[in-house]
Structure 1
Amino acid sequence: MDEIDLRAYIGLLIFAGVYRPARHAIDKLAAIREVWEKWVERLPYRYNPGPEVTVDEQLVLFRGRCPFCQYMPSKPAKYGIKIWVACDAQSSYAWKMQVYTGKPTNGGAEKNQGIGVVTDGLRGYTELPSALLTTRGREAFSSKFVFTPTTTLVYYLPKRNKCVFLLRTLHKMAEISDREDMKPDIILDYNHLKAGVDNLDKVTGSCRRMTVHWPLVIFHNIIDVSSFNVFVIWNKTNPTWMPDKQNKKRVFLEQLEKALKQIPHVPSKLHTLTSRTATQKKYQAREHTENKRHREEIELH
């Protein structure tokens, strides 16, 4: 590191120290907000999901200090950063993602988080009718439906004071099964297709590394999800590529890694760093030899 790089690095540290407290008081995700927003904005550009889209929670393993770290005993990781994901039910392509940063600054409990993820990604659903949200006086296994020209929303009570919302574009009628729990057909279809996010958890995680910094955890997850999304797009555009192989994703990631290393500016940068390191070692060895010779001369006298 030369003098110019050192001065620039010190200046960036001072700049971050001045503005970091103000940003973090307003936004808990400030440390990586700009990168996250630009990445999430590009997720829907390259892929159109099928008729079934799954919205569920993803828990990224992290046990360090984080202002919005969550404990979810139903997840394998137990502790980590919770991310709401909307993905294609068949391919598990991550189409929309939102980091849960905890309770709002006013200290009140945050409710209907899943509704916010769904309604943020669909036009025309900015709020739900208040009459639909109430559970008082309703019997268990009862259902309420709301219809629009393109969507159907069901509000089902599996038991008292517990509600389940589902929004679908496939169903157009209030169809209820003849089962004992009287579940609507919308919920039965959802249970059949809800593994989209769970499958995304299984196929990602290879890029994660041990760290005590939560922004790096989110960044590693960005790389993981991006790699899998590219793999999905590649399979859709090249259906005849390795059709009978079970390790297609591993082979694809190996080829992706080699292609990224062949970017023109990477070898030159690595060569510069290697040359600089070799020069530093050369000077250090010369200095060590001169110091040793100087000590020997002192001992002789």
Structure 2
Amino acid sequence: MDDKTLHPNRRQQDPFIPIRKVWDMFIAQCKMNYSPGSNVTIDEQLLGFRGRCPFRMYIPNKPNKYATNTNVLPQGEYYFKELSQPVHGSNRNITCNNWFTSIPAAKSLLLEPYKLTVVGTVRSNKRETPEELKNSRSRPVGTSMFCFDGPLTLASYKPKPSKMVYMLSSCGEDAAINLTTGKPEIIMFYNQTKGGVDTFD
């Protein structure tokens, strides 16, 4: 561990400085010893902590209300880009939940230096979600709707009368429906690539 008296200025810029060297060595070993496939997954796990910590943040709508602060970007997009750094520019797909997924982030990640596609769930209150895709009493259970914006596909699926599932893909998906389940293929792909992470959690 580092001696905090040796780097008072660096400690202000980097709250992680007491364990920075060990942490960087650990991350470097992870990158060297694991080769991801064409599909990877990003997920978050919020752990409650009430001790002294200079980089926690209060989130009132969470059961454990403290998490790390970020800079200008929305938290989800910031951490997506941070966590995916080892695969930037690799044209891989990253599956994630609605904490990370947004249309602005998906568009940004298609470009250099990221060159990544995204498949993820979307929160119903996102302003980019058209009203036509949202739930209505007249909409039958089991129906799907799609809208397209270049390589982006936004899908809504109604599994129950009072429930809607929203999915975003930047893979240039079409309006394909799985013939066995009746669900959009975007949902099937999401379940295949993220199910293991959800089971682990």
- After TM superposition, the score normalised by the length of structure 2 is 0.49
- Tell me which protein shows more helix as a share of its residues: 1
> Could you say which structure has the larger radius of gyration?
1
- Tell me which protein shows more strand as a share of its residues: 2
